[in-house]
Structure 1
Amino acid sequence: MAWGSVLLVAVAVMAGMIWLGKMPRKAWELSAAALFLGIAGYAWQGQPSLAGSPKEPVEKLGMFDEDLAKQRDEMGGNFGNARAWLVLADSQSRQGKFATAATALSKGLETFPEDADLWVALGNALVGHSNGLLTPASQFAYQKAATLAPDHPAPPFFLGLALATSGQLQQARAIWGELLERSPPDAEWREDLTTRLATIDALIAQQSGAPAPGMPGSVPTAPTAN
């Protein structure tokens, strides 16, 4: 039944090209050959009786986190003239189009190459495109942002997050620990960062088989000199 439908469609397409599309007679044989060659290929590999199973585009494997976007905005404050590029990139990231978001941010950086927030957003888009993994390109973007704005909390926060999701817990813990030390007591991100550090400590302790700091049986570490 399925193959009969395929053949009927093929005949209808051919007829449409001849009478509706006014195909020249000289092209009839070539077009028919191409059409039925395609049918032969489908007959060889196709399985019309199976249920459809559409796949998501590769770019949609990552996820856009609204809370993290808000966190970035809180850390960045006023974005100035570069704001439009961030809004555009966020709209693409919400659809899972992280590569498109990264392209838009790269365009924005051509106009605003010294904007640390754009570099942070570029790092985030590249991490999203790599499905949460830190790549050399995203690491460069975060480090560029940190160089441009050494006191900006967003570059170390998101670099630490990318390191953590990539499994590099010790490196993430070191970066976040330093960020917490220099964060103002009333910083909006301080509570979230403290929670994330506690989670990192628990994961590190679990991997090493030792209790996390603050848990029964743990040995408190001596404070380091500043």
Structure 2
Amino acid sequence: MTGWVIAMGLTVLLLGAMLAVGRLPRAAWEVTASALLLGLAGYAWQGHSALPGSPRQSARNTGAPFDEALAEKRRGLGERYGPAGQWLLLSDGLARQGNTADAANVLLSGLRTSPDDPNLWLGMGNALVAHTGGALSPGADFAFRRAIAIDPRAPAAPYFYGLALAQSGQLAQARKIWASLAARAPQDSQLRAELGRNIARIDAMQAAGSEQAR
């Protein structure tokens, strides 16, 4: 019985904190509450409140550690709230726990209801890259390309697609995408300056590689 009291109490406290401190938008209340209730349902199905605690090391953390800075960058360039933001919020929470497969599956559920949402496709691409430890899998490549095809003018998808390409060693492709994005970014924007620095690094790496090959 004590386990149930603790579980329900933590659920109420967490929801209250997200509303009061996190300033969760009204549009995200229903999805967030549903996720918390789903957690309680899972506890009811598999939990054993009378058993003593026995901590175990999670074996599900097979992907890359969650990168808060990149998540904030995605929120800054893309959709922070709204329908896509609700799914991305849940996905980020799972990724922070190391559950990279579940993080991607949450976005897959969102895409079933909103298959033409570029922010969900972008999130899926990033989630799949994290799940493979930074590698650009065919699924992630498709997700990034799909996000760009749906909204060609949005900066988030080409930015993160270029980043995934660069991290996978595909420097020429990354440079091409970033150069195109930089050309249409505002002249004095932080994004254009950052892309310029990234392109300069790629040029330096390619020049160094050419010298070594001689």
Matched letter for residue 131 of structure 2: H
Aligned counterparts of 1:182 and 1:174: Cα–Cα separation in 2: 13
* C-alpha distance 164-111 of structure 1, shift in aligned 2 (>3 A): same
Structure 2 unpaired stretches of 5+ = 1-55
Query: Any residues of structure 2 matched to 1:211-226 within 5 Å, and which?
Result: none
Note the C-alpha offset of 1:92.
1.2
SS in 1 for 2:61: helix
1:90 to 84, 92, 96: 92
Matching of residue 108 in structure 1 with residue 110 in structure 2:
yes
- Contact 1:157 1:176 (8 Å CA) reproduced: yes
SS in 2 for 1:209: helix
Aligned counterparts of 1:107 and 1:136: Cα–Cα separation in 2: 19
Matched letter for residue 177 of structure 1: A
Matching of residue 163 in structure 1 with residue 165 in structure 2:
yes
Aligned counterparts of 1:91 and 1:70: Cα–Cα separation in 2: 13
SS in 2 for 1:59: coil
Aligned counterparts of 1:125 and 1:72: Cα–Cα separation in 2: 12
- Contact 2:79 2:85 (8 Å CA) reproduced: no
Structure 1 unpaired stretches of 5+ = 1-53, 211-226
* Greater Cα radius of gyration, structure 1 or 2: 1
Question: Over aligned residues, Cα RMSD in angstroms?
Answer: 2.0
Normalised TM-score (structure 2): 0.68
> Counterpart in 1 of 2:125?
123
> Counterpart in 1 of 2:68?
66
Query: Any residues of structure 2 matched to 1:1-226 within 5 Å, and which?
Result: 57=59, 59-209=61-211
How many residues align? The count is: 157
More relative contact order, 1 or 2 (CA 8 Å, 6+ apart): 2
Q: Equivalent pairs: percent with the same residue?
A: 45
